Amino acid sequence: MKFQFQDLSQMLTMDGHGVYVWSAVIVTLIIIIGLIVRPLLQHKVALNQIAQDLAREKLRKEVAGESN
């Protein structure tokens, strides 16, 4: 197994096919990274939201308890 190009700049151009190959690589990488990052962010947001709701609920119960 050997490296197929003389140097990295030749690997970038790929005899004129570089534009096609590298645009495929870049778009694929952006989308698959997005498919990982998006649910990770949503996971965090969902947990915070639930924690906030629980805290609010608790506070309301305490206030209701005092007024009785």
Partner 1 sequence: MNWTWFYRLGSPLWFYQTTTRWLPWLSLLAIVLLSTGLIWGLGFAPQDAKQGNSFRIIYLHVPTSFLALAGYFLMAAAGAIGLIWKMKLSYMIMKSAAPIGAALTFLALFTGAVWGKPTWGSYWVWDARITSMLILLFLYFGVLALQYAFHNEEAGNKASAVLALVGTVNIPIIYKSVDWWYTLHQPSTIKLTSAPSMHPDMFQPLLVMILGFYCFYVVALCLFTRVEILRRERKTTWVGELAARSSYEVESDKK
**Residues interacting with partner 1, by CB under 8 A?**
1-5, 11, 14-18, 20-21, 23-25, 27-28, 31-32, 34-36, 39-40, 42-43, 46-48, 50-55
- Number of H helices and E strands in the chain, helices first, is 2, 0
Query: Cβ closer to partner 1: 35 or 64?
Result: 35
Where do we find the tokens 């004129």?
16
What are the structure tokens assigned to 67, written together? 């007024």
**Contacts of 11 by beta carbon, 8 Å cutoff, 6+ apart:** 4, 5, 18
In angstroms, give the least distance from the CB of 9 to partner 1.
13
Query: Cβ closer to partner 1: 41 or 66?
Result: 41
